[in-house]
Amino acid sequence: MPTSSICPHCEGEALYRHRHVAAGAVRGVSLLPDLGSFAVYATMTVVVCRDCGLMRFFTDKDARANLESSSAWTRIGRSKTSD
């Protein structure tokens, strides 16, 4: 979660956030598949810049904890273990 209140795109200062947004819907796309628990979608915080409209999503801690054990996600870049 960013600590700056400045937009990285336009340097605007009118940022708004909404916490604990469900990352899916009963009928629709799941933005964080396989990171929630049974019948519970993973959640995230959404930050929007009023000036330029840039929207950023920050996955909550519980969902991030499931990344390594999920078969739906692949780590990119450097790996902690050799492949």
**Its pTM surpasses 0.85:** no
Distance from C-alpha of 18 to C-alpha of 80, rounded to nearest angstrom: 33
pLDDT in tens for each of the 83 residues of the chain? 667 899 999 999 999 999 999 888 777 778 888 888 877 889 999 999 999 999 999 999 999 999 999 999 999 987 665 44
Both tokens of 52, joined, read 């330029």
pLDDT for the residue 72: 92
- Judge contact between 81 and 42, C-beta under 8 A: no
Residue 22, amino acid: A
